[in-house]
Structure 1
Amino acid sequence: MRAAPGPSARSVVGSVALPLAWLVFFTALQWSVVRYRIPIVAALTAATLALALWQWAGWRVTLHRPAVVVMLAGSALATLAVPLFSYLAPTGLAVATTLFVVVPLACAILLCATTVRAHWAAGVVAVTGYAACAAIAITSSPRPRIDVWVTLQQAADGLGRGENFYAMNWTGSPGIQDAFTYLPWTAVLLAPGRWLFGDVRWALAFWTLVAVAGVWMLARGAAVRHTGAGWVWTAAAVTGLLVLAPGTLTQLDQAWTEPLLLAGLVWWAVLVQRDRAWWSVIPLALACASKQHLALLLPVLLLWRPFGWRRAVATGALTGVLIAPWFLASPPDFVHDTISLLVGFHPIKFANTLYLLALNTFGVTLPFAVTGVAVLGTLAAVCWTVWRRQPTLAEVLRWLALVLLVANLVNKQAFYNQFWLVGSLVVVSLALAPRTARTSSSSSTG
């Protein structure tokens, strides 16, 4: 009698490589704030190549208990061992960092159990720990010295008064003084945090939890379509990796807006998975109306049949409708803040990208033609591959992540937050991977 086939060599390699790559990627990101180092650039470049290889080779990689334990324990270790930038007061920083050590370890222990009750508990612990750290970060650092927070706070105030925040100047900003560099729905969707609780970061924490809710919907939907078991473990594991990644405390403190974009993309995926593709246009358009570079994703989705060109065009049209009031209020101010200023902005010395590597190491300023070819060439290759293969939703999320990752890597202004979005999309895609019957059976007891 022939023995049942074991896992392929590729799947074994992938299961080992995934936790190591995740740890290297996010640990390098935590280290990158606020410093430029060649090893950080090398780590991010290696991650880009690894993601590209994974996607083009079509390897099947799923989450397993040992991998998740390594990732969560490694995150706790990174919190202790790697420099962490923040403006938190000493007591708040001590409490928050302690939580970012204890909570991942607690989640890892609970995810090692074989009962559904323990897996639910792991998800609750991860979310509760994240919420507690968010509250500590906001209250312990009430006025972080970063222009992002200043502009978001004052834009929310201006929006409440009916003013055009693209025509405003900022008071007390340590950086940009006279521009709102985001698309308008960043301000609209974060303003309630300022209006209700005094700080836009409360809204960012809320949108992070909205994204987490979407992760649970994706995992449940994948289970229904496949084994029907093990989805609670998968959802809890992805939740832990998402909200307890190295550097999360810095992201909370600095008011970086990528959690808002992640929420939009996750709920786009949820609605597509549930055959509500036309409804998925709404969260995708809201995300596109919040930050400029998400426009790069629409050509890929246009060629993916479950979404298709009609919905991609509708997304672009709805995005235009959403931003039109601010553009029409003052076209020169809008174009200056969201396009001209960013194109002409000087390279940021803490951006760990190939652009800064060329500038700092070789004294070469990469022309726009070179960086444009890298981004558009990657986009064209991804579009062609998606059109030919018509991949699964999980693979599409990773293709989108690859496009954004290459765009970040040749950028002169990419920081932790832009790379965080890429890593988060990859992690979210793992919620869609069906667990094997052998792994699922042990998770369905209790």
Structure 2
Amino acid sequence: MSRRDAQTLLAWCGLLALATHSVVRYRWWIVAGYVVVAALVVALAWTAHDDRGGRAPRTGAWVPSAVLALTGLVHLSVPAFSYLDDSGQLLVRIVLGVSSFAVAGLLLPGRGASRGLAFATAVVGAGVTAALVVVGDPAPRIDVWVILQQAADGMARGDSVYALDWVGSPGISDAFAYLPWTAVLTAPGRWLAGDVRWALAVLVLLSAVCVAALGRWRRAAVAAAALLLLAPGSSTLVEQAWTEPTVLVGLAAWAWLVRADRAWWAVAPLAVALASKQHVVALLPLLAVWPRFGWRRTVVAAGGAGVLVAPWALSGFGDFWHDTVRTMLELPPLTFADTLYTLVLNETGVQLPIVVVGLVVLGVLGTAVVALRRRPVGLAGLLMWCAAVLFAANLVNRQAFYNQFWLVGALVLLSVAAGAGSLSADPPRRHGERRARPAAPPAGASAPPSPTGD
């Protein structure tokens, strides 16, 4: 893998360790840590290059295993938030930690045939963890789970999710604050297995498959997919029924199809992601100016999202507007969120003006657009810019928790996989130049090892 990808994986590990410790507590140093990681993400995005057919500087092939081992240590040393009892929480941490160490061992250099087994091990670890938290905490005390469960029941009756009130919700009780495809993608978990969280776990698994396929199942890509499945705090994500996997599965499928030169097919999963949560629209300017996708496909994807949302919006526009726009704009700041907004509020009592918030997000977004227009940037660089834009939005948000930073981390892992998939085993050839055959070794000498491309 490249040195850049090694730096990226380390940044990811730091981000998720901070995010895991942040649930649910405010600490100024967590915010400071986020700022440092965000600066590194922007720097990695800014220095990105065109990755088509290139040969990036390599670093130790042991780095993916080292980051997986470090992730295992984070699992064992940083408790994730959970409503499970102490023994249940310990078991979850042991499963995730041991799984991380096992995958790290299987991905050590010289064990190329073990990549499939490594991915399967990560799937088993993530699956056991999901079962432990779903069965062990059958009714988590969070409004997201209540809303998704009752939304699925309402959809089964033919009701609009935007016309329902939520019974027993400990938070929001009169709004479905997401776009409708969040409900569509999670409802099968309720209908088939009694709990929407099973669907969310499956969406994470599908995203991991896309991550590995994006990187052509090379060592770094399999490691990135395993890290997505075994991320620090991943048990909290599933237990709390946080909805970011509905966005990630669309973005991951989009990236995989673009890498496979099926950019028009990639319009469909992008439309699903746009129809799931509102903030995905912030990524559209980046995709529009990136030549390998372009503004035409971006417009078609946005139009497709509009078509997917239209049945709910047109059947009751007032309810739809109240739930998806007004409710989101009127959410109060929560002082236990770890953002720059809450840092200023907690330390000084001052709420950041909306103009300042907007300038920060638009500043990073504008920088990304300029960078993508001025020089060739590959898929890995584009995905890193997407992570940077969402990272900036999280940092100045009134409410941003583990799940939002988890999505940023997932985009970072997609970038690693895209970088791994772009590396060629041989240096690029000039047009019309034939690849030279390696000279035969002298009699009695052993042949040099063949490159693995990872």
TM-score by length of 1: 0.90
The residue number in structure 2 matching 1:4 is none
Give the 3 Å change call, closer, same or farther, for CA 88–389 of structure 1 in structure 2: same
Whether 1:70 and 2:56 are equivalent positions in the alignment is no
Whether 1:121 and 2:111 are equivalent positions in the alignment is no
Structure with max Cα Rg: 2
Whether 1:31 and 2:17 are equivalent positions in the alignment is no
Whether 1:150 and 2:146 are equivalent positions in the alignment is yes
290, 300, 310: which one aligns with 2:276? 290
Distance in structure 1 (CA, Å) of the matches to 2:58 and 2:287 = 24
Whether 1:54 and 2:44 are equivalent positions in the alignment is yes
Alignment of 1:405-444 (within 5 A): 405-434=391-420, 435=423, 437=425, 441=450, 443=452
**What displacement does 1:350 show?**
2.0
Preserved CA contact (<8 Å) 1:401 1:426:
yes
Preserved CA contact (<8 Å) 2:31 2:338:
yes
- AA matched with 2:201: A
Whether 1:339 and 2:329 are equivalent positions in the alignment is no
166, 189, 199: which one aligns with 2:185? 189
**What displacement does 1:167 show?**
1.3
292, 301, 308: which one aligns with 1:306? 292
**What displacement does 1:70 show?**
2.7
The residue number in structure 2 matching 1:279 is 265
- AA matched with 2:350: V
Distance in structure 1 (CA, Å) of the matches to 2:81 and 2:239 = 9
Preserved CA contact (<8 Å) 1:111 1:233:
yes
- AA matched with 1:235: A
**What displacement does 1:336 show?**
1.0
Q: When the two structures are aligned, how many residues end up with a matched partner?
A: 424
- Structure 2 unaligned blocks of 5 or more: 50-55, 427-448
Alignment of 1:163-178 (within 5 A): 163-178=159-174
Alignment of 1:94-243 (within 5 A): 94-220=90-216, 231-243=217-229
The more displaced of 261-270 and 61-70 is: 61-70
The residue number in structure 2 matching 1:387 is 373
The residue number in structure 2 matching 1:329 is 315
55, 65, 83: which one aligns with 2:79? 83
Amino-acid identity (%): 47
**What displacement does 1:200 show?**
0.4
Preserved CA contact (<8 Å) 2:65 2:223:
no
Preserved CA contact (<8 Å) 1:297 1:403:
yes
Distance in structure 2 (CA, Å) of the matches to 1:415 and 1:16 = 26
Aligned Cα root-mean-square deviation (Å): 2.1
**What displacement does 1:92 show?**
3.1
Structure (1/2) with the larger helix percentage: 1
**What displacement does 1:427 show?**
1.0
Preserved CA contact (<8 Å) 1:300 1:386:
yes
Distance in structure 2 (CA, Å) of the matches to 1:92 and 1:311 = 47
Distance in structure 1 (CA, Å) of the matches to 2:280 and 2:311 = 20
**What displacement does 1:442 show?**
6.4
Distance in structure 1 (CA, Å) of the matches to 2:212 and 2:14 = 26
Whether 1:267 and 2:256 are equivalent positions in the alignment is no
